[in-house]
Structure 1
Amino acid sequence: MAGSVNKVMLLGNLGQDPVVRTSQDGNKIVQLSIATSDRWKDRNSGEQREKTEWHRVVIFNENLSNIAEQYLKKGSTVFIEGQLQTRKWQDQNGIDKYTTEVVLGRFRGELAMIGSRSDSPNISDTQDQISEHNASNEITQKDSNPPMGGAGDLDDEIPF
């Protein structure tokens, strides 16, 4: 196999407020518990059925951690994109345990808040900050990377 992909995308609701802790080296780590549900109609009874899966999400990305801590709460609808990782640990009795998590690494991952602005009163401030951050990154990247293929700046106007 030439390569592989480890990508997880979830759209669901938080089952509890974000849990924020700090690592030994001072970095913020946020844990989320996200529920996703599958609904269908039972063929035999005609009743609506639902199955809910719970996903443990860990955010190591500083900017996303700050947003999650400040704006997310139990019941918030979020879109998460990260990588699946399984880690091994020992319980109090020395028995090996395994936990599978969706991880948003320091320089990877995506978090999008879904829902109305009334769910988070300060959401417009965050969107402005994110837009300013993205704009400054685009300017920095534009200045540091010469155009490929000699295209330079293109005129956005349609010629007809």
Structure 2
Amino acid sequence: MTNTVLLVGNLGADPETRSTRGDTTITSISVGTSRPKRDSEGKVLKDPATGYTVKDTEWHRITCFNGLGKTVGQFATKGMLVSVRGRIHYSQYEKDGVTRYATEIIAEDVQFLSRGKQASNPQSDLDLDEDVPF
């Protein structure tokens, strides 16, 4: 049996990267996914003022480790469209005597579906303004 999750959505904030004492890189991102909101009869709701479809958005906590964490931390930016493949991880902890539960996605692969940050060296071998024959 497999625990596999596939999400496509937008980053809600810039990634947060930290390292452990053992030099493991951990990067956390928040990915929002949306779907049309429906009424009690199952019809898609429209905003009367704008005519646009009303959406329900859910936010997912994603954790990336080591090389993937470094890449996501370096190139991902708020608003960027990404595809995340990973597994669901549930945990529980106690805070102030109350048991709390957390759900996160442990990423195995993150694909950037829109442009992100430029590399630290913005110069490249190719000037994008030049005409290039294909």
Asked if TM exceeds 0.5, the reply is: yes
Give RMSD over aligned pairs.
2.3
By how many angstroms is 1:40 displaced? 5.5
SS of the residue 1:67 aligns to: helix
TM-score (norm 1): 0.63
**Residue aligning to 2:9:** 12
4+ long deviations beyond 3 Å: 44-47
Q: Is 2:45–2:54's contact at 8 Å kept on the other side of the alignment? A: no
Alpha-carbon distance change, 87 to 121 in structure 1, aligned in 2, over 3 angstroms: same
- What runs of 5+ residues in structure 1 fail to find an aligned partner? 126-160
Q: Share of identical aligned residues, percent?
A: 27
Q: Give the aligned residue type for 1:114.
A: L
**Residue aligning to 1:115:** 114
CA distance in 2, matches of 1:56, 1:41: 25
**Larger-gyration structure (1/2):** 1
CA distance in 2, matches of 1:63, 1:49: 38
Correspondence list, 1:95-106, <5 A: 95-104=98-107
Structure 1 residues 16-43: Cα deviation after superposition (integer angstroms, max 9, x where no partner):
1111112232211111100000125763
CA distance in 1, matches of 2:93, 2:76: 28
Say which structure is richer in strand: 2
By how many angstroms is 1:96 displaced? 1.2
- What runs of 5+ residues in structure 2 fail to find an aligned partner? 48-52, 123-134
Correspondence list, 1:15-94, <5 A: 15-39=12-36, 43=43, 47=47, 48-60=53-65, 62-91=66-95, 93-94=96-97
CA distance in 2, matches of 1:25, 1:44: 50
Say which structure is richer in helix: 1
By how many angstroms is 1:120 displaced? 3.1
TM-score (norm 2): 0.74
Question: How many residues in Structure 1 have an aligned counterpart in Structure 2?
Answer: 113
